[in-house]
Amino acid sequence: VRRPLILAIESSCDETAAAVIDGGEVLRSDVVATQVDFHARFGGVVPEIASRKHIEAICGVCDEALDVAAASLGRSRLRWRDLDAAAVTYAPGLVGALVVGVAFAKGAAWGADIPFIVVNHLEGHLYANKIGRPDFAPPAVVSLVSGGNTLLVHMADWGDYRVLGATIDDAVGEAFDKVAKALGLGYPGGPVVSKFAAEGDPDAIPFPRAMLHSGDLRFSLSGLKTAVVTYINNERAAGRELNVPDICASFTAAVVDVQVAKARTALRETGAPTFCLGGGVAANPTLRAAYEQMCAEEGVRLVMPPLASCGDNAGMIAEVALDRYRAGAFSPLSTDALAHGDL
Ligand code: KG4
């Protein structure tokens, strides 16, 4: 096996994840335990529940990551002291969730006497493009769209990032979740809204394309969410039956139009030859199809990570950690988890 061997942990939101990477950039394991079912009945992620579930899951998830990696390496077992570093997401995210992974990784690093490496979650999403695509390299424009983030990033090089624009209020995934909640479709909203949208008419209801002509690369989703909720309330008040597929398709079209227009502008402004996607919303089929068309029109290469690598995972954190290890960028055990953390 090529050294170093690094275990990385991710616990920034509602996924407890651990992965082992080796010096040949091979992910020897990539384990994710999702808590989504525990949050579903509340219609969104409940921070206190997330923290408690991370505590329950983290030992088992790390053990599994070590066992799967051992099997992949042809060893009977892998122990913490067989590793060269322990890495963890330290920001941004739910601080009470992050702190579980951070404390656990610190304990492992201290106990096994190996270096401790901290990784920014958003940088992890950029590195997710490497998973299954070893040929991927910057420069690129990346759209990160999840339950907590909505931003466009220019990656000039590994480690050289510029945020071109971000949401000024809600994240895209959050808007999907709130629309689903208003329609009584459960949580998370993205997958179920996508399913209904496939059967609806995207032109049925003219929902607002917020900030489409704002002249910058920022986004706003809260007005769209309010417009959809108001529409639903008005229809109900008038005693009309809701056309759920049309609402979902029209809402999705409003989101996608703005996302694609701003991504196109970002590509033209930066001249980047590659466009990438990250975050849970990257699973949306309408969005993916629209990006395929836009990239073909612009003559830009489109890189979409595997769906499992779009959502939160530790494989992407391990990819960043390997670069940090090679650069000798280790962190003191006094490093804290942070709710906010710029790229
Ligand atoms: O990256 P992710 O797994 O983690 C968090 O940010 O927590 O993203 C989850 C978000 C949720 O808001 C979910 O509704 C959204 O991604 N999502 C989707 C789809 N699948 C998941 N949004 C739109 N279309 C989808 N198919």
Q: Which residue CA neighbors atom 23 of ligand 1 most closely?
A: 190
Residue 132: what pLDDT?
A: 82
Same-domain check for residues 169 and 99: no
Same-domain check for residues 283 and 167: yes
In-domain check, residue 121: yes
Same-domain check for residues 205 and 243: yes
What is the average per-residue pLDDT within 166-182? 96
Ligand 1 pocket list (CB less than 6 A): 13-14, 146-148, 173, 176-177, 188-191, 194, 279-281, 283-284, 311-312
Same-domain check for residues 120 and 155: no
Residue 209: what pLDDT?
A: 97
ipTM of this predicted structure = 0.97
With 0-12 CB in 10 A as exposed, 13-18 as middle and 19+ as buried, what is 15? buried
Element (H, E) at 90: strand 85-91
Three-state SS for 117? strand
In-domain check, residue 343: no
Helix, strand, coil fractions of the chain, as percent rounded to 5: 45, 20, 35
Element (H, E) at 85: strand 85-91
Same-domain check for residues 120 and 239: no
Rounded CA separation 302/114 (Å): 38
Mutating to test ligand 1, I would choose from 12, 146, 224 the residue with most ligand atoms within 8 A of its C-beta, which is 146
Same-domain check for residues 164 and 283: yes
In-domain check, residue 1: no
Same-domain check for residues 73 and 164: no
Measure 187 CA to ligand 1 centroid, in angstroms.
10
What is the average per-residue pLDDT within 232-248? 97
Q: Which residue CA neighbors atom 26 of ligand 1 most closely?
A: 284
pTM confidence score:
0.95
Measure 336 CA to ligand 1 centroid, in angstroms.
27
Q: What is the pLDDT of residues 76-95, one digit of tens each?
A: 999 999 999 999 999 999 99
| Ligand 1 atom with minimal separation from the 189 CA | 14
In-domain check, residue 334: no
Rounded CA separation 169/150 (Å): 9
Q: How many domains does the chain have?
A: 2
Which range is least confidently modeled, 14-18, 130-134, 236-240, 334-338?
130-134
Residue 204: what pLDDT?
A: 98
Same-domain check for residues 122 and 187: no
Rounded CA separation 171/309 (Å): 19
User: Mean pLDDT of all residues in the chain?
Assistant: 96
In-domain check, residue 331: no
What is the average per-residue pLDDT within 96-108? 98
What is the average per-residue pLDDT within 336-341? 96
Q: What is the pLDDT of residues 112-142, one digit of tens each?
A: 999 999 999 999 999 999 998 878 999 999 9
Domain range enclosing 63: 6-128+310-326
Confidence bin at 308 (pLDDT 50/70/90): confident
What is the average per-residue pLDDT within 256-282? 97
Confidence bin at 305 (pLDDT 50/70/90): confident
Q: What is the pLDDT of residues 274-293, one digit of tens each?
A: 999 999 999 999 999 999 99
Same-domain check for residues 162 and 215: yes
Confidence bin at 62 (pLDDT 50/70/90): very high
Same-domain check for residues 299 and 151: yes
What is the average per-residue pLDDT within 6-20? 98
Same-domain check for residues 151 and 218: yes
In-domain check, residue 45: yes
In-domain check, residue 336: no
Tell whether omega for the bond before 285 is within 30 degrees of 0, i.e. cis.
no
Q: What is the pLDDT of residues 149-168, one digit of tens each?
A: 999 999 999 999 999 999 99
What is the CATH number for 81?
A: 3.30.420.40
Q: What is the pLDDT of residues 212-236, one digit of tens each?
A: 999 999 999 999 999 999 999 999 9
Same-domain check for residues 233 and 283: yes
In-domain check, residue 276: yes
What is the average per-residue pLDDT within 172-194? 96
